[in-house]
Chain A
Amino acid sequence: MKNKINKFVNRIKGHTELILGLSLALPIILLYLFGLMVTPRKTYMVISTSLVILVFFVGAISLDLEVGSVGLPNFGKVAFFAIGAYTSTLLYNYFGVPFPVAVVIALIVSSGFGYLISIPAVKLRADYFAIMTIAGGEVIRLILQYEQRWLWDPTTNTQTIANLFTARVSTSHPFNKYLSDFGITIFKDLGLGTIFIWELTLLIVFIIISILVYLFVQQIRKSPYGRTLRAIREDDITVTSVGKDVGKFRWQVTTVSAFIAGIAGVMYATLFNSLDATNFTPGLTFQLYYLIIIGGLGNSKGAFAGTTLVTLFLRGTAVREVQNTIKFSLDSDTPIIGSILQILQLELDVNPFNLRFVILGSMLIAFLLFKPAGLIPEPRIDNEKYLKLLTPEERLRSDEAVGVRQSLTEKERIEVEKTEESVL
């Protein structure tokens, strides 16, 4: 009987990530469904959430490539979004460049900046690189926000730039119609709201783009190139000594990553009728980090899981009706603790807008402490063979001596079972 229980427990242990994932996903999905029920514009909510998920998914893949695969903590990701978004929009708006060409140019510019980033990456310690990228991102944001001569909208004379592409296309035939205009009235009949053709088109296009990006990055990861990247992340000194030019890998990764981030930026821009520089703050970069750390570093499935969960959570709690429901105050009138609160002159106004960030931040920290590999950890297939060749001391020695650029998942890997075979 005891054996059976042990076996069962062991089987569960092997699936901790799955259980954790489910126990997180379930309440979040329920929350989102609640929001969905409560809001009047259901189809709009579903579509807009999906669009946002896809944009951030691409962005998360881009960040994960740098951070999870090569170990470069780029905290200025938002700048690449901005470069992609603004370059394509400005070229299209004021230089008469056809939109597809504008997008291509934007991606080239974005990749160029990605290449530039690799230069300081060599010399700087990880967190200095992080600060430099934040500062760089903010400089770009400041320029976008305050450069009146070159970057402001000439018609309104403000820093908010109209996204003429979106404005024009979404108001022209057939994009300005609804599904119901074409005879597909099932959503309307069910009381779910109507679907705008433009949004539907965007959704399909975004899905295609995301799949392509995903497949592309998967190819990289599974190839020998990808293995070298992971090796660089663990111990770049050894990799150099084997004769590989680490610098070349580094700039290649930053460039590709910037390219993908540029794509995400263009996607992001097409969602809005105007671009506002105050949307491109470090907060966006931080959010990408939350996504990949919770979802799982070093793999795109993890990026998707993290993006979906966090976005559903944030969007579900953003619904106005949800905000009105989950809202209460603790103050001097509250029973039992009211008097203490009054002496302490405290008043707690629990509202979903702030509470969700408290929860998100706590989740982030909890993951860092207890599940640094995230919900979907990087698959260990290749590394098992490599690790078995090393002895425990060597594994640990490489940790201590070359600790800087290691990934979070390395600690996970040093879990060797206590077996009798470790004896002479």
Chain B
Amino acid sequence: MRRNKPEKFLNGSKLIMSLIAIDVLSHGAIALVYAGKLVLLTVGLNMIYSVLKFSNFSHAEWITWGMFSSWWGLQILTFVIPWDASMGFIINNLFIQATFAFIMVGILGLLSEILVFGRLRKLKANPRSFTVASIGIGLVIRNLLAMVWGDFPTPISPPKLPFGLENIIKISITFTYRHPILGTQSINLTSFKIIIIVISIITVLFIDYLFKNTKFGIAMRATSDSIDLAQVSGINTKRIIFYTWFIAAGITGFGAAIVRATQGRFGSTDGFSMLLPIFAVVILGGVGAFRGGIISAFIIAYSREIAAIILTEFQKKPGGLEYAIEDLLGFTISFSPGYMDGIGFVVLILVLLFRPQGIFGSVEATRARV
């Protein structure tokens, strides 16, 4: 496609104009929420990685089960308790649902350890067997969920915060600002989205404190280094491992329930589609580095957002980045929005190639347990 000089100039200036007019605030807010979601959903994976030293692919199904079970809890409640509109916030209550999900997914994690992973560990199987087993568990759960609830259950109205918080405290931030050159800058954060951000930070700080400053945390880290040595020091490693699974899975379920509340629909493949970006966050931040996970979640979320901006607002059209690069270099690849998710994968590959311990992780964590 040959474009002549005036056309090129026009395209170039359109590009620069739209660059300036990006709704930075809005995109920034979206990425912030996405980062919060990532953090919530990655803490559990990080725990399992760090204490048990294998990639738990069934983590995807923890997320899915968290979404489904929170919805299921609601179903049971609505059926069992006769209610009317005024009881909405008791019945359709976010924290009740999330807590229920915590317990349900925690049980799933515990069962996986009792039935599968604990036995594999006794057999001294290598980490690859654990990973493949986790893939198998994921396959089973995914299809069981589809059999019970179908692939896309239709949720009813979004859940409410306890005690009618959203009526008492109007925690939503909406802000729009129009500027002649800078264009529209807006933020629209509803209460749920703010909750996600707040809870994710609290969760991370809590787990981090647990790992570093409590006796339990030291026991977890010791178990991760050497089960035998930990036992000989008096640590009941079996119990530590059980707790680790329950907490890691539970947190993931809790987070998934909250995430589900912000999404309209959810399906049996939701967890799996988020799996690789989640692994990217954990590995980029560093296994065992929970606070580092916040930073890596930000990096992944913001790079995805930037990629989204570049790919959508600047696609194949006059004034688009794709045309601009083609004009400059003579050729280009396509700026398809589908590449948006690819950012996470590319980050993952690069990190693993050049710095497998991530930003904050320790190199020991990348070695196998001896």
CB neighbours (8 Å) of B368 from chain A are: 125-126, 403-404
Q: Does B169 contact A (CB under 8 A)?
A: no
Q: Does B299 contact A (CB under 8 A)?
A: no
Q: Does B231 contact A (CB under 8 A)?
A: no
Inter-chain contact A357/B140, CB cutoff 8 Å: yes
Inter-chain contact A372/B123, CB cutoff 8 Å: yes
Interface residues of B in 59-103 (CB under 8 A from A): 72, 75-76, 79-80
Instruction: Tell me which of B72, B138, B333, B352 contacts A132 (CB under 8 A).
Output: B352
Instruction: Tell me which of B126, B342, B348 contacts A131 (CB under 8 A).
Output: B348
CA–CA, A134 and B316, complex, Å:
30
CB neighbours (8 Å) of B133 from chain A are: 364-365, 368
Q: List the one stretch of A146-154, A245-253, A298-306 in contact with chain B.
A: A146-154
CB neighbours (8 Å) of B342 from chain A are: 138-139, 142-143
Inter-chain contact A149/B128, CB cutoff 8 Å: no
Inter-chain contact A365/B276, CB cutoff 8 Å: no
CA–CA, A148 and B315, complex, Å:
11
**How many chain-A residues does the 8 Å CB contact rule pick out?**
61
Inter-chain contact A131/B139, CB cutoff 8 Å: no
- Tell me whether A368 and B136 are in contact in the complex, defined as CB-CB below 8 angstroms, given that A134-B276, A349-B150, A400-B370 are known contacts: yes
Tally of contacts, chain A with chain B, CB under 8 A: 175
Q: Does A358 contact B (CB under 8 A)?
A: yes
Q: Does A73 contact B (CB under 8 A)?
A: yes
**Whose C-beta in chain A lies nearest to the C-beta of B115?**
A365
CB neighbours (8 Å) of B346 from chain A are: 135, 139
Inter-chain contact B55/A150, CB cutoff 8 Å: no
Inter-chain contact B333/A135, CB cutoff 8 Å: no
**How many chain-B residues does the 8 Å CB contact rule pick out?**
60
Interface residues of A in 57-78 (CB under 8 A from B): 67, 73
Inter-chain contact A345/B140, CB cutoff 8 Å: no
CA–CA, A31 and B215, complex, Å:
55
A sample of 11 more A-B contacts (CB under 8 A), given A132-B349, A404-B127, A406-B126, is A124-B366, A127-B55, A130-B131, A135-B280, A348-B147, A361-B137, A365-B136, A368-B133, A403-B124, A403-B370, A404-B368
Q: Interface on A for B, CB 8 Å cutoff?
A: 67, 73, 120, 123-128, 130-132, 134-136, 138-139, 142-143, 145-150, 286, 289-290, 293, 342-351, 354-355, 357-358, 360-362, 364-365, 368-369, 372, 399-401, 403-408, 411
**Could you give 30 example pairs across A and B, Cβ below 8 Å?**
A67-B128, A73-B128, A125-B366, A126-B368, A127-B128, A127-B131, A130-B131, A132-B352, A134-B276, A135-B348, A135-B349, A139-B342, A139-B345, A142-B341, A142-B345, A147-B333, A149-B333, A342-B79, A343-B80, A358-B139, A361-B137, A361-B139, A361-B140, A362-B136, A364-B132, A368-B120, A368-B136, A372-B125, A399-B124, A405-B126
